[in-house]
Chain A
Amino acid sequence: MKIHIRNGRVIDPMSARDEVVDVYVAAGRIAAIGEAPADFRANRTLDATGLVVCPGLVDLSVRLREPGFEYRATLESEMLAAAAGGITSLACPPDTDPPLDEPGLVEMLKFRARNLLGPRVYPLGAMTQKLECRMLT
C-alpha cells in the first residue's frame, strides 16, 4: 500500500520540523518527506490541507481490559478507540485478571492484539507475582 499525504503541516518534534510538505508512505515505512521518490504511484492520496501531520501518538497507560475484564470493554473496541485518538503505540499495565506475571499471558495478549486493527501493544510486566508485592517475577 502506497499512501501520499498531501499538503499537510508536518510537525515532528524530535527533528524540530514544522512545515507544509508532502509525506510518502510505502511498505510500512516513510518513503520520503518532501519530494516523491522515483516511480512513486500512490494507491491512496490523503488531502491534508489545513491539517496537522504528526508522529502517531504514544500512550504510556491504556487498559485494554484483557484478560479478565472483557465485560467492561473488549480488546477490539479499545484498540479501535485508541486508533481513533491518533494513538499508534501503547503500553498496557499488568493489572489484568490474572495479572501479566508470566510469559504465556504476555504472549497471548500480544498475539491477540497483532491480529486486530489498532496500535502496537507493549504489555508491561508485573514486577511481582500476582502483583502481591512478595515475590519478584
Chain B
Amino acid sequence: MAELTEAGCRAFTQADAPMTDNQVLLRAMEYASTFGLSLWLRPQDVSLAHGGVAHDGAVASRLGLPGIPALAETVALATILQLARETGARVHLARLSTSEGLAMVRAAKAQGLAVTCDVASPHVHLSENDLISFDSHLHLVPPLRSLRDRDAIREALRDGTIDALCSDHTPVDEDVKQVPFGESAPGASGVELLLPLTLKWAREMDVPLMQAIGLISWKPAQILGVPAGTLAVGGWADLCVFDEAAEWIVGPRTLTSQGNNTPFLNHLMLGRVHYTLIDGHIDFEAPHSP
C-alpha cells in the first residue's frame, strides 16, 4: 500500500472481490490506521452471498433466482465497523443497499465513528419488484433490494447518513446481458445518468437542488481527498453546466458510453449537461447547446 500510495492511489479496496479473511482485513486496517490511509469496503459476507444473483426475498423466490440475503450486508458491516472501532482506521463503506445496514451506519456515526458511505444511483429508484421483467440489465451488485430498502436509501440520502451518490459505472457487452438473468454479467452503465437520477430523487423527495448537488460534488470530493467539487476563486476550473428541465430518452443514440447496459433504457430523463469544463478546458459540449 505504501508504494501504491506513492504512485497516487488515494484509497485501497477489494472492490467487488470477496473479503474472505478477517485477519487480512484486520491487518489492512491496522496498517491503514498507522499510515493514515483510507479503506473503501463494500460489505458482503462471502458465504452468505455465495451463488446469489438477486435479493433474497419474495420476488427472487417466485422467479426461482438464488438469493443474496440482506444479512450478507449487515453481518459483514458489523465486522467492518467493529474492526474500524478497534483500529481507528478510516473506512468508507461502498454501495450500501439495505435498510438495516443504513441504520447501523447511522448509529455508528451518532457514536462518533468517522465512517462515510455511498450508494449507487440505480438503487435510489429501483427495487426487486422491477425484476419481474427478468431484464438482465437489472442484475446489479449489490442486488436491487426490497421497496422498504429503497425507501430507506431515499430517506438516508436526505438525512445525511449517506454521504455520496455514485454511478458504479460498469459497461458490459450486450452478448453477456442477452442471456438468462442468473447467467448474465452484473453491472450497469451509469456515468451519464448520475446527474439526472440525482435530480429525479431531489424532485420526488422535495430536496433543494443545493443539497442534491452536494451528494455528487463536494461530499465525494472530500471522501476522495481532492480539492474538487466546489467553485472557489483560485481553485480548479472544473464545472458542469446543465439544463435541469431538459428532457431526453436513454438509448444508444443519446449515450456516449459504449455500454448501453442500463435498466433505464428508454426511460425519460430530466436534466442534461450542456458543457463540462475540466481544468479550464471545455472537454464536453453538447450538440444541442446554445
Contact = CB atoms under 8 A, between A and B. Distances in A.
Contacts of A44: 282
Contacts of B256: 77, 80-81, 84
Contacts of B230: 12-15, 55
Contacts of A131: 14-15, 17
Interface of B: 1, 3-21, 24-25, 27-28, 31, 39-40, 94-95, 118, 120, 164, 166-173, 187, 189, 191-195, 209-211, 213-214, 216-218, 220-221, 223-224, 226, 228-244, 255-259, 273-284, 286, 289-290
A42 interface: no
Interface residues of A, number: 91
A55 B194 contact: no
A23 to B, nearest CB: 7
Contacts of A18: 209-210
Interface in A21-80: 23, 25-33, 44, 46-63, 65, 71-74, 77-78, 80
Nearest to B118: A60
Contacts of A91: 10-11, 224
Contacts, number: 338
Given A23-B231, A58-B224, A72 B241 contact: no
B122 to A, nearest CB: 12
Contacts of B191: 59, 62, 78, 81-82, 84-85, 87, 90
A12 B55 CA distance: 37
Contacts of A104: 7
Contacts of B236: 28-30
A15 B232 contact: yes
A59 B166 contact: yes
Contacts of A78: 169, 171, 191, 257-259
Contact of B211 (A13, A65, A118, A127): A13
A46 B24 contact: no
A14 B280 CA distance: 20
Contacts of A72: 171-173, 258-259
Given A63-B169, A81-B257, A124 B228 contact: no
Contact of B14 (A8, A49, A57, A128): A128
B224 A60 contact: yes
Given A17-B231, A81-B257, A137 B4 contact: yes
